[in-house]
Structure 1
Amino acid sequence: MAVGGGGHKVAWTVATCALVAGAMTYALAGAHGPLGVSDRSGLVSMVVGLPALVLAVVAALWARPGAYEDEEAAVARLAREVRSVGEATWLQRLGGDLTAIDVTFTFRPYANARAAALPPTPQGQLERVVEDYRALRPRRLVITGEPGAGKTVLAWKLVMELNRTRTEHEPVPVLMALADWDEEEQVGDWIARHLERDYGLSLRSARKVVDARMVLPVLDGLDEMDASDTPANRSRARVALEALARHQDGTEPAPLVLTCRTSRYDALEADADHILDAARIEIDAVTAERAVRFLEQRGAARRPAVWQPLLNELRTAPGGAVSRALSTPWRLTLVATVYERDGDPGELPAAASLGETADLLLRRYVDAAVDSVGDAPRGARAEEVHRRLAVLARALDSADGAQTDLSLRNLSGQLGGRRPRNVLRGLVAACSVASLWLLVISDGLDPATVAVTLAAAVLSPAIVLSERLESRFRTAWYVPPLGSPLWRVGIRLTLNGRGPRRWMLVKCGAVALCWTMLVAPRSVGGLGQWATQAPLAPWLLTGAVVLAIWWLDVAAVGPSGWVRGGVVAMTGTACTLLAVYLSWNEQGNALVAVVSLGALALAGCCQWVEYGICLLLTPGLPLRLARFLDWCVVAGLMRASGVTYQFRHREFQEWLVRHPLPVPASVPAD
């Protein structure tokens, strides 16, 4: 089976196999004394098995689900991924209810000839946004609005409807957050990286789709790329707009959709940095009449008497302070969530300003979420939930451009900088030095132990010290929860697969059969070599798990699936170390072998070990962070977007940065 891309990978594999075979041949030659029949048979099996194991590891590192896909299959899989992610995200965006606010928008034509041709009869409604977009020439659209106006909801609506009605020759719309775009990164490379990270495509498949211009980038949050006080002419947003303006499909401007706050895009436009050949729409404020209609269908539907004072205020003073404070879909959804089952919405008219209204709602937000879902994992109270979320919000705010995507795979960089990685490197170095020291002071070690110890002591530090080599071991295994129907889906996909999938099954079956013959008692026709082969048992079980989930949609598994993948990998590693200790203990080699292989295990599982170190070094976060974040998604405080977490709204994230400690609703705002 090809392991993909590049002669250096093949050379590395061949060199590793040659090193292993040479070490075993040296051992078989009996350089340190004659070996018995049992020892020789065990070493022969290792000579045969270890190169195969190395090839399997290399295949797992460089091959990815879909590495053998053609362009058509990759596009179809991306469309399925976007739809599965979009449906869950849509429900989260609407606060767990499918009742959406029908926002309206108005086209704002540019005063130059380079603007896109507008639809002849614009609809200007959420439900008809697809018709308006399809009528643009070229299909370049900029969505602007005030904070909370529903820009992202409108973008998601466009993504879902375009994906639902697209033909096989049209590009797949994909929503991506602009905050993590490095201005030195090419547009195509950045899109491919997102398809790999957020939707589980292999990098090879992602590049095929991007190069074929089969991705319609829907880019969210241009205003979130910079701090609010960054001048437009020195902003990352300006660089991004320049790159997007050059993004083309053949000789024509490539289609795209962009969202940005009104004030930020006005500043960029005044500095002549806006995108030419694009149409711009401005989302209208929600009128008091629409707000009353929405609240009657949500909170007031459960407790109409309690809601009447607020509804009467909106009806009698459509231009008043309360109406202006609740003129965005986000604020209306927040009001419905906070007061749906508890509290008195009649206290809102007493707020003197828009800021006070927002503070009052956000102070009650976490309490309302905890009350509606139940206590957080390990019985955390609302105050503790607030503190944990504030730690994450401040970490994202301190990152370049105030990021919005929280990725567990990149948690170390977002929370702890390089400190967790340096701790990991120190642990690996300590284990390697200890194994070499034990090798020097120990007597009577057999050649296999010497070879394994030397190889592990050299390879382990090399993995964690080399950025390029370490990245090869940062595998993306996304394992579903126990009992999830995704297991049945994965097994069915594997059994019904073709090509490389069938070959993988045949190879795994052959390896399992050979291993069974090696460990089976002689009385049933086996070789009875369980002592030398026992360490492979946990990895056979781990391989079976990986095989079952290999072809699952990563985005469908969710962002916490990566942590479960680490549990599987590290459990298999720990069982292997235990098996090595038990099988080699009689020969007196157990300590040397376990320490040396322990260093290699730390390096091989570097991404998950670093994640655990990061949690230990970050005060205020629980060790079971993934479980806590999944609860926050259910509670409506966070949302899952592909394989990343995001706060429910940017205003909530920014408010937590300003209020890291809980503030009672009765205390005046700062």
Structure 2
Amino acid sequence: MPDGGRGSWMVPGWLRWAGLLALAVAGVLWALDGEDAAGPMELSERTDLIAMVCAVLGGVAVLATLWRRPEEAEAEAVARLAREVKAIGEPQWTSSLGGDLKAIDVTFAFRPYAGARAAALPASPAGRLEQVVEDYRGLRPRRMVITGAPGAGKTVLARKFVMELNRVRAESEPVPVLVALADWDAGEPFRDWLTRHLQRDYGLPPASARRVVAARMVLPVLDGLDEMDATGTAPDGSRAARALTALGDFQDGTDPAPLVLTCRSSEYDALEAAGSHILDAARLEIAPVTPERARDFLALRGARRPDRWQPLLDDLRDRPSGVLAGALSTPWRLTLAAVAYERDGDPAELLAATSEGEVADRLLARFIWASTVNVPKGVSHYAPERVHRTLRSLALGLGSGHGAETDLVPLDLGRLVPRWGVGAVVVGALTGAALLHVLVLLRWNELVGPARLVTCLGLLIAIVMGLTVGSLPATYFRPPGVPRLGSALWSIGMRRYVRKMPRSWSGAYLLVLLVFLLGAILARSPNALGLMLALCAGAILIVLAFPIAAVAELDRTTAGPVGGLRAFLWLGAYFAGGAALTLVGYAKSQDPLMLTCLGMLLSVGALMEAPCLAYLLYLFLNVRRVPLRLARFLDWSVSAGLMRTSGVAYQFRHREFQEWLVRNPAP
């Protein structure tokens, strides 16, 4: 295989170009003066044949642009991953802080294991959020477990660690990558699971993801060990225990491989008591926020209405061991209080709470309403009752209890639809396509030569696809993410594609398409409709090929969690437009080959669009609970601070908020 990430082709580039040009010239000459099994071809038949070839080559160009991407060298793949981590981490950091760039400077201390060997600690640990990278680099080996109470800021600390280490890391150091542990089962090899998330969350091509993992150039920062099992699950035999066993075997040569892990203190204590913790790691315990730090933070966030906040600030000063101080001892609760009462309401009503849980419930009860009010001007608004109903429906879809999932991927909502429903739609489309081909073969007996061969091939494709529907996973096809209209990403992708187009296969396909169009014009067919359809089909495919090629130059994550859904909708529009064009052509010319083209479009389109069809079925079946424009609502929820993004997934702002929605059906 040639080096440099240029692919595995051993044929010289000039020879490939020569072969394509020869094929194009031969095809045009045969179309202008060719014969089939029945004798000389009419000019109208030649024009129709050219139109079909244009459509096939254009479709191949589109699919090649989507599926074929040159393999990257290791250094290029690592640099790409570092860029994606930076691009994704910055907005996630802002959303995790409720739109404020200043985080509470939490403190922590390294806590020794009860009776097992641990990593060697730095000589003088700083124990502060701003210096967590320096403390980590002082560990030998570099394995760290971040523990703390619920809402203590474990994920915020992990995000800060990833951003800071990625900013100062040397080229020879691995790239820190934050990944949620909730969907991993130790039955899947850890490296395979990590590779899958690099593809899904960070948009790396499969070959690049495998390459950086194999080269040990990824530092996994694994968030949420405590979220792998339901509450009360015994440590022995739990998913978390199996995960820790697998992570203990994760090594770099003969040394333990670096990693970072987050977990609630109580769960990790239970795992440690059962002997399931990771050896040769340092345990970091996040300290509660002191009443003094809480007062400073709330005074800063409540500067718009200082008189309203003063009774609460006085209580934190006078009762440092009281209910309110205990409830507001975590960064999450402090941020929640700031959002809930920053612009409206009386924070002094929290003084009447008799328990920390009651304080949390009062804050969460105001969270949606306050976030809706705080949405910037110019952004769409939703009624708080509707927001509550929709978010609760989505929370229920992720499951209930401590073992519920946290990642909400819009396209994966289709898994909540019965598989037989999606299968019935896809198999119905494939059956319709097969019947079209059978109709052409039975009704037009005079169809001979290449035309009959093409129809038989279409029938075979429909049958094979129908037989494989049940064995295909729900998300087997993952197109690149499509940015929203007006995004600057379009011009970036187009510039990158134009620079590489002369040496790319998609550029060669476009050249072949242009040659065939030139042949269709030179044919001067008396069949004006056939010539018009050939020109229209070729022009549409050429116009579509450029934006799709530009999208292929962008990673899925740059387009956000909705980018993949937009890609399916664009592909659906492409197939629908092609179907409409073939129907018009058949209505005017009664050419049976038009029905063959329609059948092929149905076959390929139905199978490729299966994930999107499942998503649309989910919206249709839940139209009373979720808006039809769900992606727009989710983006609004991120801007409102109710949700956040993680790679190509949405997440609720905090696990406590997600669980509260499940428990509270009414606003």
- The structure with higher relative contact order (CA 8 Å, sep 6+) is 2
Range 243-252 or range 224-233, more displaced: 224-233
**Is 1:199 paired with 2:202?**
yes
| Separation in 1, partners of 2:402, 2:364 | 25
**Is 1:248 paired with 2:254?**
no
CA offset at residue 184 of structure 1? Answer: 1.1
Structural RMSD (CA): 3.2
Structure 2 residue corresponding to 1:272, chosen from 259, 271, 275: 275
Report what 1:662 is aligned to: 666
Report what 1:86 is aligned to: 89
**Is 1:301 paired with 2:307?**
no
**Is 1:36 paired with 2:42?**
yes
CA offset at residue 607 of structure 1? Answer: 2.4
Report what 2:515 is aligned to: 514
Please list every run of 5 or more consecutive structure 2 residues that lacks an aligned counterpart in the other structure.
Answer: 11-22
Q: Output one character per residue of 1:398-436: Cα deviation in whole Å (capped at 9) or x when no partner.
A: 6994211111232222x2252443233343244235425
**Is 1:141 paired with 2:147?**
no
| Separation in 1, partners of 2:506, 2:144 | 47
Determine if contact 1:317/1:323 at 8 Å carries over to the other structure.
yes
- 1:492-641 matches, cutoff 5 A: 492-497=495-500, 502-504=503-505, 506-518=507-519, 520=521, 529-532=531-534, 534-588=536-590, 589=592, 594=598, 597-619=601-623, 620-641=625-646
| Separation in 1, partners of 2:513, 2:444 | 35
Q: How many residues align?
A: 638
| Separation in 1, partners of 2:286, 2:193 | 28
Report what 2:414 is aligned to: 412
CA offset at residue 296 of structure 1? Answer: 1.3
The 3-state SS of whatever aligns with 1:197 is helix
Query: How does the TM-score come out when normalised to structure 1?
Result: 0.88
Determine if contact 1:174/1:215 at 8 Å carries over to the other structure.
yes
| Separation in 2, partners of 1:312, 1:42 | 84
Report what 1:667 is aligned to: none
| Separation in 2, partners of 1:516, 1:443 | 28
Structure 2 residue corresponding to 1:327, chosen from 324, 329, 345: 329
Q: Output one character per residue of 1:307-362: Cα deviation in whole Å (capped at 9) or x when no partner.
A: 11111111111110001011100000011111111111111111111111111111
- 1:185-224 matches, cutoff 5 A: 185-224=188-227
CA offset at residue 513 of structure 1? Answer: 2.4
Report what 1:336 is aligned to: 338
Report what 1:13 is aligned to: none
CA offset at residue 543 of structure 1? Answer: 1.7
Determine if contact 1:515/1:533 at 8 Å carries over to the other structure.
no
What percent of counterpart residues are identical?
Answer: 48
Report what 2:436 is aligned to: 435
Q: Output one character per residue of 1:158-187: Cα deviation in whole Å (capped at 9) or x when no partner.
A: 100100000000000000000011321111
CA spacing shift, 1:626–1:38, aligned 2, 3 Å? same
The 3-state SS of whatever aligns with 2:118 is coil
Determine if contact 1:86/1:156 at 8 Å carries over to the other structure.
yes
| Separation in 2, partners of 1:374, 1:267 | 45
| Separation in 1, partners of 2:600, 2:206 | 33
CA offset at residue 212 of structure 1? Answer: 0.4
CA offset at residue 127 of structure 1? Answer: 0.7
| Separation in 1, partners of 2:342, 2:332 | 15
Report what 2:19 is aligned to: none
The 3-state SS of whatever aligns with 1:176 is strand
CA spacing shift, 1:268–1:636, aligned 2, 3 Å? same
Letter of the 1:604 counterpart: M
CA spacing shift, 1:579–1:425, aligned 2, 3 Å? closer
Structure 2 residue corresponding to 1:232, chosen from 209, 213, 235: 235
CA offset at residue 502 of structure 1? Answer: 3.5
| Separation in 1, partners of 2:104, 2:222 | 22
Determine if contact 2:58/2:538 at 8 Å carries over to the other structure.
no
CA spacing shift, 1:408–1:400, aligned 2, 3 Å? farther
| Separation in 2, partners of 1:294, 1:354 | 19
- 1:483-494 matches, cutoff 5 A: 483-494=486-497
- 1:72-471 matches, cutoff 5 A: 72-112=75-115, 114-298=117-301, 300-373=302-375, 380-397=382-399, 401-413=403-415, 415-432=416-433, 434-435=435-436, 438-439=439-440, 442-443=443-444, 446-447=447-448, 451=453, 453-460=455-462, 462-463=464-465, 465-466=467-468
CA offset at residue 580 of structure 1? Answer: 0.8
| Separation in 2, partners of 1:579, 1:421 | 26
| Separation in 1, partners of 2:598, 2:513 | 24
CA spacing shift, 1:55–1:570, aligned 2, 3 Å? closer
Query: How does the TM-score come out when normalised to structure 2?
Result: 0.88
The 3-state SS of whatever aligns with 1:496 is helix
Letter of the 1:639 counterpart: R
CA offset at residue 516 of structure 1? Answer: 4.1
CA offset at residue 102 of structure 1? Answer: 0.6
Q: Output one character per residue of 1:579-619: Cα deviation in whole Å (capped at 9) or x when no partner.
A: 11122222324567535633432223222222212322335
| Separation in 2, partners of 1:184, 1:286 | 38
CA spacing shift, 1:31–1:426, aligned 2, 3 Å? same
Structure 1 residue corresponding to 2:649, chosen from 641, 644, 667: 644
| Separation in 2, partners of 1:464, 1:407 | 27
Q: Output one character per residue of 1:199-256: Cα deviation in whole Å (capped at 9) or x when no partner.
A: 1111100011000000000000001111112211121111110000000000000000
Letter of the 2:618 counterpart: C
Determine if contact 2:144/2:283 at 8 Å carries over to the other structure.
yes
CA spacing shift, 1:121–1:523, aligned 2, 3 Å? same
CA spacing shift, 1:492–1:443, aligned 2, 3 Å? closer
CA spacing shift, 1:595–1:113, aligned 2, 3 Å? closer
CA spacing shift, 1:433–1:617, aligned 2, 3 Å? farther
Determine if contact 1:373/1:634 at 8 Å carries over to the other structure.
yes
Letter of the 2:612 counterpart: W
Letter of the 2:234 counterpart: P
